[in-house]
């Protein structure tokens, strides 16, 4: 076994971490985890305040998910899904189709959320070429400023976070943009009027609109006004534009429904899922298409209407078994009915005192997803200069106190695994408050 010192050294020398400025990276090498806690190679324990980047739904090392993976490992770790199938992926497909709203019945797999979005973009484009009344001109997408849909080139193109995406502009296809549907900037009718204007002008060239329903995650857990998503569905339908719902953050109970679209009774044409789908155990993502979309891809092989797209590990049986077990636990442990409402209410209570803090501009919460936005002066509505990195420093301070947080700019995300208990949540709230007090002046 390598020593902790060796691991730390090799980490620094050879491991290039995602979204990390490596010149300032301080190694934190995790060796194991249990429930809501991560344990590093030195035996230091950290409360996982962001569900290992929003994917660990039910807590680390959930025995039922672990058992399902181990059982599957003894049968079939992997076989391709190009032209053949495997048992857990078949079962998962049936169950996702049953859970997804409306006629979303056809499940296409990938291993990362970005690739689920990428598939949705290509499916939408190809649909318009192959549907009963083809529309050659529909080659563009409508997307939002501040959106985040992943880091492959297509998903980057529909993203709208300057800090992540601006640099790559020369590589990206053009996207028609709308301002973020932020509830603070206007109500549903205000934002819907902007959308209608864009659709009125451009609908003939737009294949699909891409949206993170109800909240923009990476923008800083920014909430949308009630009624907006429903209006988006009505307008996209009226103007013959497909609706791609990116529920990679919001899917699987986090917002209080299985999928966020259900809050507004909306069925998108394509639904992208990832992150919580295996409760943070194995990489898996899915794009679920409606029967109508799927039908446009059926025909003689020679007609060329096949979806020529896919990934080597798509529909991996271990990951699919983990996803099936996640769905079992959600149903059997009454996660949607009991765990989520209870935790959401407790999170609201723990975060409430921060609303009065002189350096907190806003506390936003939807179900078990929350963001605490820091500011220089709450009453004057003044943000901190971004380069002072208050969010980063607050999270670092919290980590030094045993609570692992990772911010989005000056928004500190609070999104613990659903396994978190009252005492752990109190600890998280306490450490967050002390960290804000220590860093923000």
Ligand X SMILES: *Cc1c(COP(=O)(O)O)cnc(C)c1O
**What's the CA gap between 229 and 343, in Å, rounded?**
25
What residue ranges in 182-298 does DSSP mark as E strands? 206-211, 215-216, 222-223, 242-246, 270-273, 285-290
Q: Does position 417 bind ligand X by CB under 6 A?
A: no
- Residue closest to 306 by CA, chosen among 315, 296, 314: 296
Residues in binding contact with ligand X, number by CB under 6 A: 15
Q: Which residues contact 429 (CB under 8 A, 6 or more apart)?
A: 350, 351, 353, 354
- Residue closest to 182 by CA, chosen among 144, 140, 234, 233: 144
> 311: annotated binding-site residue?
yes
At 262 the three-state DSSP class reads helix
> 246: annotated binding-site residue?
yes
Q: What are phi and psi of 245, to 5 degrees?
A: -100, 115
Q: Which of 113, 317, 367, 409 binds ligand X (CB under 6 A)?
A: 113
Q: Does position 112 bind ligand X by CB under 6 A?
A: yes
Q: Which of 7, 218, 242, 253 binds ligand X (CB under 6 A)?
A: 218
Identify which of residues 220 and 274 has a Cβ nearer to ligand X in the complex.
274
- Residue number closest to ligand X, CB atom: 113
Measured from the Cβ of residue 7, the count of other Cβ atoms closer than 10 Å reads: 18
> 290: annotated binding-site residue?
no
Q: Which stretch binds ligand X (CB under 6 A): 186-194, 210-218, 386-394, 420-428?
A: 210-218
Measured from the Cβ of residue 292, the count of other Cβ atoms closer than 10 Å reads: 14
Question: Site residues for ligand X, window 219-248 (CB under 6 A)?
Answer: 246, 248
**Per-residue DSSP letter, 386:** G
Q: Does position 264 bind ligand X by CB under 6 A?
A: no
Q: Which stretch binds ligand X (CB under 6 A): 106-114, 259-267, 339-347, 415-423?
A: 106-114
Q: Does position 274 bind ligand X by CB under 6 A?
A: yes
Give the nearest distance from C-beta 246 to ligand X in angstroms.
5
Identify which of residues 101 and 213 has a Cβ nearer to ligand X in the complex.
213
Residue where the block lists tokens 């028609």: 176
**Per-residue DSSP letter, 179:** -
> 310: annotated binding-site residue?
yes
Q: Which stretch binds ligand X (CB under 6 A): 112-120, 128-136, 138-146, 251-259?
A: 112-120
Q: Which stretch binds ligand X (CB under 6 A): 88-96, 107-115, 325-333, 428-436?
A: 107-115
At 29 the three-state DSSP class reads coil
Give the nearest distance from C-beta 105 to ligand X in angstroms.
22
> 151: annotated binding-site residue?
no
Give the nearest distance from C-beta 266 to ligand X in angstroms.
16
Q: b/e string for 154-181 if b means 16 or more Cβ within 10 A?
A: bbbbbbbbeeebeeeeeeeeebeebebb
93 to each of 103, 236, 315, 332, how far by Cα in Å? 13, 27, 9, 19
Contact 139, 324 (CB under 8 A): no
Contact 247, 274 (CB under 8 A): no
Q: Which of 212, 362, 373, 410 binds ligand X (CB under 6 A)?
A: 212
Identify which of residues 268 and 429 has a Cβ nearer to ligand X in the complex.
268
Token pair for residue 145? 């400023």
Q: Which of 119, 195, 207, 249 binds ligand X (CB under 6 A)?
A: 249
> 231: annotated binding-site residue?
no
Give the nearest distance from C-beta 1 to ligand X in angstroms.
30
Question: Site residues for ligand X, window 142-181 (CB under 6 A)?
Answer: 148-150
Strands of the sheet with 30-34, listed across from one edge: 30-34, 37-40, 45-48, 403-404
Identify which of residues 219 and 427 has a Cβ nearer to ligand X in the complex.
219
Give the nearest distance from C-beta 293 to ligand X in angstroms.
20
Question: Site residues for ligand X, window 115-134 (CB under 6 A)?
Answer: 117
Question: Site residues for ligand X, window 346-375 (CB under 6 A)?
Answer: none
Contact 101, 262 (CB under 8 A): yes
Measured from the Cβ of residue 222, the count of other Cβ atoms closer than 10 Å reads: 25
Identify which of residues 150 and 371 has a Cβ nearer to ligand X in the complex.
150
> 113: annotated binding-site residue?
yes
> 265: annotated binding-site residue?
no
**What's the CA gap between 62 and 333, in Å, rounded?**
12
Identify which of residues 288 and 350 has a Cβ nearer to ligand X in the complex.
288
Q: Which stretch binds ligand X (CB under 6 A): 32-40, 110-118, 119-127, 369-377?
A: 110-118
**Chain positions contacting ligand X, by CB under 6 A:** 112-114, 117, 148-150, 212, 217-218, 246, 248-249, 274-275
Annotated binding site for pyridoxal 5'-phosphate: 113-114, 246, 311-312
Annotated binding site: 113-114, 148, 246, 275, 310-312, 406
Annotated binding site for substrate: 148, 275, 310, 406
């Amino acid at each position: 076994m390598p020593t902790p010192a060796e691991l730390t050294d090799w980490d620094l020398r050879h491991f290039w971490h995602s979204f990390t400025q490596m010149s300032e990276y301080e190694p934190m090498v995790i060796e194991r985890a249990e429930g809501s806690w991560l344990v590093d190679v030195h035996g230091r324990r950290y409360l996982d305040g962001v569900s290992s980047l929003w994917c660990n739904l039910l807590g680390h090392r959930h025995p039922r998910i672990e058992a399902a993976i181990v059982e599957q490992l003894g049968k079939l770790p992997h076989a391709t899904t190009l032209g053949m199938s495997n048992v857990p992926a078949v079962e998962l497909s049936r169950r996702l189709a049953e859970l997804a709203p409306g006629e979303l019945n056809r499940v296409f797999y990938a291993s990362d959320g970005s690739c689920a979005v990428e598939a949705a973009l290509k499916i939408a484009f190809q649909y318009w070429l192959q549907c009963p009344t083809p529309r050659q001109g529909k080659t563009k997408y409508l997307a939002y400023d501040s959106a985040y849909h992943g880091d492959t080139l297509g998903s980057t193109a529909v993203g709208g976070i300057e800090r992540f995406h601006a640099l790559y502009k020369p590589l990206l296809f053009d996207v028609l943009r709308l301002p973020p549907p932020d509830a603070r900037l206007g109500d549903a009718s205000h934002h819907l009027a902007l959308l209608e204007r864009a659709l009125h002008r451009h609908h003939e060239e737009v294949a699909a609109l891409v949206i993170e329903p109800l909240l923009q995650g990476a923008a800083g857990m920014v909430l949308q006004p009630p009624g907006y998503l429903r209006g988006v569905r009505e307008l996209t339908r009226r103007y013959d534009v497909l609706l791609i719902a990116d529920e990679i953050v919001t899917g699987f109970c986090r917002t209080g429904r299985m999928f966020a679209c259900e809050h507004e009774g909306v069925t998108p044409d394509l639904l992208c899922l990832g992150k919580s789908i295996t409760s943070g155990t194995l990489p898996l993502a899915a794009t679920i298409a409606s029967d109508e979309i799927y039908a446009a891809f059926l025909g003689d092989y020679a007609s060329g209407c096949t979806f020529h797209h896919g990934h080597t590990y798509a529909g991996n049986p271990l990951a699919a078994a983990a996803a099936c077990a996640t769905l079992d636990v959600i149903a059997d442990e009454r996660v949607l009915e009991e765990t989520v409402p209870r935790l959401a209410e407790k999170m609201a209570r723990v975060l409430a005192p921060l609303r009065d803090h002189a350096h907190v501009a806003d506390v936003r919460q939807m179900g078990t997803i929350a963001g605490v936005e820091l500011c220089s002066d709450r009453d004057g509505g003044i943000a901190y200069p971004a380069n002072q990195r208050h969010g980063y420093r607050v999270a670092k301070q919290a980590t030094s106190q045993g609570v692992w947080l990772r911010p989005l700019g000056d928004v500190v995300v609070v999104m613990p695994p659903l396994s978190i208990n009252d005492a752990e949540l109190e600890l998280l709230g306490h450490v967050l408050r002390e960290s804000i007090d220590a860093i923000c002046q």
